[in-house]
């Protein structure tokens, strides 16, 4: 049973879109009732993500994504439609109508239950007589039993089917085990075997407390050293962080971003309860947005080797776009946090945290270390590279402070350095403006493949069809008695838009993006949002009927010319056949 339109509309009304989106994206007023910010769905430096308070929709002029508040939560939280509705209902204190869950929801709940039971199984194996190898590893890493319990650490035995046999005895099927990434199919395609074997197991728990996947550390010399669950219905490693379920409760005011699970466990055990780690990947934009929901400051505590420094630079670029305060912890002698704490103790690590450089100082120091300032050519190059870093800062005060520091470092006058920074900034702003203009003029056809065909077959008719769709959304009563049907449309996806809008309007349903969210896919909703935002279609009441008549005339004439063209093609083929076969 689908949700009623009245419920979905009330849900949208009680979750004002700018308030919801503002929890993920820093929005600034630009013009009219629209707010703009950096798109959370693709990387950009100039805001092209628009949120309309009047229409209660969002739309990105760069990547084309758009829709209602429900679509936004589906996209940014990676949730199915019903889960997004429940998310927003909880936020608004609403009760979700009781209905039978659909097949996808049942599969999701079943997978989460399987993951939870598997985590309990691994935990029992760790504390049992067969878990000595994992127990020895934990002892050598000086992880206490209490910490192991807090993180739910477990052990995957070195056998082919211990887990699968145990879970099958609890009623789970081989297909469910394979779908959850806990088992793999044999080469013959028959039967399954355990994915994780002879590994220390780290359950990955989301911020709602669900076990969504696992990370396993090998206990011998095998490869790979770490293995993560594959992408599943409930697990996306790019959208989750290890231990965020614990770190979100921290009172420290910042998140410590580490490279590995063991570092996180060691930090929590030492009292630094805000540590998290990405799951076998570099930090992603989705993970950064997740962090920004729980803290406004991030301390990057990656290893101090070359790979760690490179990863730090990349993380800085992602985090600073979210208006987060970013600092970088530089550990001496190439140590990682776990090694440093074991050698120097928690107090020494805390002292390091308190003296960490902000990301600007860190980046400037990295540039400085690459040049010999006693050589004029290298000094000039160092100045240019450093000026690019300072020029990216939005605050004039910050630019002046760091320009003066750079002047002292290079022995060049503060005035010259300041001029270089501002000249570089103008270049960056010019490039960003041109990129924004290119993004803003990109048509919806550039992002259409999943919503229909990559390009309309009849562009003239399709543009008129888009116009009718927007007019119908704005003013359904205008179409009473109008001589047009979806069957006359040239584009199937546009015909379906028109058909659904007409069906809902005839049922006296208030047309809104929230009430349409369940009727279309994410790509289709993005396309529909783009159409509704098209300024070429008249909003003004006096112009609507004339526009509607013009659009209908174009659609009908194109349909007629297309049919005539088909008739001519058929006649030509018939004549060719007669000539070929002597008819």
For 56-71, give the DSSP string: TEEEETTT--EE-HHH
Report the CATH number at residue 35.
3.90.580.10
Question: CA torsion sign, 268 to 269 to 272 to 273?
Answer: positive
pLDDT band of 79, cuts 50, 70, 90: confident
Q: Does residue 117 share a domain with residue 228? A: yes
* Of residues 66, 96, 87, the one with CA closest to residue 513: 66
Counting Cβ atoms within 10 Å, is residue 388 exposed (0-12), middle (13-18) or buried (19+)? middle
Overall number of domains in the chain: 5
pLDDT at 134: 95
Q: Are 325 and 297 in contact (CB under 8 A)?
A: yes
On whether residue 284 sits in a domain, the answer given is yes
Q: State whether 221 and 111 are in the same domain.
A: yes
Point out the least confidently predicted range of 23-27, 323-327, 430-434, 454-458.
454-458
Same domain, 383 and 486: no
Same domain, 479 and 523: yes
For the ranges 78-92, 244-258, 298-312, 527-541, the lowest mean pLDDT is seen at: 527-541
Confidence of residue 574 (pLDDT cuts 50, 70, 90): very low
CA distance 255 to 467: 48
Q: What is the mean pLDDT of residues 364-387?
A: 89
Does residue 98 surpass a pLDDT of 80? Answer: no
User: Is position 108 within any domain?
Assistant: yes
Q: Encode pLDDT of 437-465 as tens digits.
A: 555 444 334 334 333 333 678 888 988 99
Cα–Cα distances (Å) from 457 to 294, 463, 489, in that order, read 48, 11, 11
The pTM assigned to this predicted structure is 0.66
Tell me the average pLDDT across 286-291.
85
Tell whether 356 is covered by a domain.
Answer: no
CATH of the domain at 282: 3.40.1360.10
Distance (Å, whole) CA 174 – CA 111: 12
Last residue within a domain, chosen from 215, 234, 253: 234
Which residue matches tokens 């993004």? 439
- Helix/strand/coil for 431: helix
- pLDDT level of residue 31 (50, 70, 90 thresholds): low
Q: How far is the C-alpha of 151 from the C-alpha of 268, rounded, in Å?
A: 10
The CATH number given to whatever domain includes residue 167 is: 3.90.980.10
Domain boundary among 420, 440, 460: 440
User: What is the extent of the structural domain holding 205?
Assistant: 104-234
Do both 390 and 340 map to the same domain? no
Tell whether 354 is covered by a domain: no
Nearest alpha carbon to residue 10 among 50, 49, 42, 56? 56
515 pLDDT band (50/70/90 cuts)? confident
pLDDT at 332: 80
Examine the domain organization and report whether 519 and 476 are in the same domain: yes
**Helix or strand run (H / E) with residue 325:** strand 325-328
Measure the CA–CA gap between 583 and 579, rounded to whole angstroms.
6
Which of 440, 463, 497 terminates a domain? The answer is 440
pLDDT, mean of residues 244-255:
94
364 occurs within a structural domain: no
State how far the alpha carbon of 211 is from the alpha carbons of 32, 172, 248, in Å.
44, 16, 16
- Whether residue 163 contacts residue 194, with contact meaning beta carbons closer than 8 Å, is answered with yes
Is 29 inside any structural domain?
A: yes
Q: Same domain, yes or no, for 322 and 255?
A: yes
- Tell whether 579 is covered by a domain: no
224 in the same domain as 110: yes
Residue 573 has pLDDT above 70, yes or no: no
Residues 109 and 214 in one domain: yes
Lowest average pLDDT, out of 49-58, 398-407, 450-459, goes to 450-459
Residue 164 is classified by DSSP as H
Regarding whether 187 and 139 lie in a shared domain, the answer is yes
Same domain membership, residue 267 and residue 225: no
What are the residues facing 228 on neighbouring strands? 215
Stretch 88-112: mean pLDDT: 80
pLDDT at 536: 58
| Structure tokens, 124 | 């029992």
- Are residues 181 and 136 part of one domain? yes
Residue 357 lies in a domain: no
């Amino acid at each position: 049973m689908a949700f009623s339109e009245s419920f979905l509309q009330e849900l949208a009304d009680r979750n004002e879109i700018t308030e919801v989106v503002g929890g993920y994206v820093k929005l600034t007023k630009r013009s009219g009732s629209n707010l703009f910010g950096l798109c959370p769905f693709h990387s950009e430096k100039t805001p092209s993500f628009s949120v309309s308070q009047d229409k209660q929709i969002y739309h990105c002029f760069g990547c084309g994504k758009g829709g209602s508040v429900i679509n936004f939560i589906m996209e940014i939280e990676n949730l199915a439609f019903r889960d997004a509705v429940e998310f927003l209902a909880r936020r608004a204190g609403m009760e979700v109508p009781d209905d039978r869950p659909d097949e996808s929801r049942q599969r999701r709940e079943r997978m989460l239950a399987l993951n939870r039971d598997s985590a309990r199984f691994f935990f029992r194996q760790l504390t049992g007589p067969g878990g000595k190898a994992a127990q020895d590893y934990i002892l050598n890493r000086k992880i206490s039993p209490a910490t192991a319990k807090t993180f739910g650490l477990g052990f995957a035995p070195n056998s082919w089917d211990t887990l699968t046999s145990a879970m099958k005895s609890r009623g789970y099927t081989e297909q469910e085990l394979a779908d959850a990434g806990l088992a793999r199919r044999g080469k013959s395609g028959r039967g399954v075997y355990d994915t994780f074997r002879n590994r220390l197991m780290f359950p990955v728990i989301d911020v709602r407390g669900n076990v969504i996947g696992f990370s396993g550390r090998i206990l011998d010399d095998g490869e790979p050293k770490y293995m993560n669950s594959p992408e599943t219905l409930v697990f996306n490693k790019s959208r989750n962080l290890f231990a965020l379920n614990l770190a979100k409760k921290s009172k420290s005011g910042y998140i410590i971003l580490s490279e590995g699970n063991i570092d996180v466990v060691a930090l929590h055990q030492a009292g630094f309860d805000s540590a998290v780690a990405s799951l076998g990947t570099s930090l992603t934009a989705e993970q950064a947005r997740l962090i920004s929901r729980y803290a406004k400051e991030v301390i990057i505590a990656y290893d101090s080797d070359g790979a760690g420094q490179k990863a730090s630079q990349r993380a800085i670029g992602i985090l600073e776009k979210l208006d987060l305060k970013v600092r970088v912890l530089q550990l001496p002698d190439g140590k990682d946090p776990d090694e440093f704490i074991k050698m120097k103790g928690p107090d020494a690590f805390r002292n390091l945290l308190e003296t960490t450089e902000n990301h600007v100082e860190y980046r400037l120091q990295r540039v400085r270390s690459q040049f010999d300032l006693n050589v004029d050519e290298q000094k000039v190059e160092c100045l240019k590279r450093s000026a690019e870093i300072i020029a990216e800062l939005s605050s004039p005060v910050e630019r002046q402070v760091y320009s003066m520091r750079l002047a002292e470092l290079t022995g060049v006058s503060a005035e010259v350095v300041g001029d270089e920074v501002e000249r570089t900034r103008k270049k960056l702003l010019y490039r960003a403006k041109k990129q924004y203009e290119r993004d803003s003029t990109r048509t919806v056809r550039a992002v259409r493949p999943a919503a229909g065909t990559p390009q309309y077959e009849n562009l003239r008719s399709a543009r008129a069809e888009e116009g009718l769709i927007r007019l119908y959304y704005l003013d359904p009563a205008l179409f009473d008695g109008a001589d047009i049907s979806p069957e006359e449309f040239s584009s199937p996806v546009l015909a379906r838009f028109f058909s659904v809008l007409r069906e809902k309007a005839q049922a006296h349903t208030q047309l809104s993006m929230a009430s349409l969210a369940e009727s279309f896919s994410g790509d289709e909703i993005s396309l529909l949002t783009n159409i509704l935002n098209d300024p070429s279609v008249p909003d003004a009441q006096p112009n609507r009927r004339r526009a509607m008549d013009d659009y209908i005339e174009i659609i009908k004439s194109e349909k007629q010319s297309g049919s005539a063209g088909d008739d001519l093609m058929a006649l030509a083929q018939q004549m060719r056949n007669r000539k070929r076969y002597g008819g």
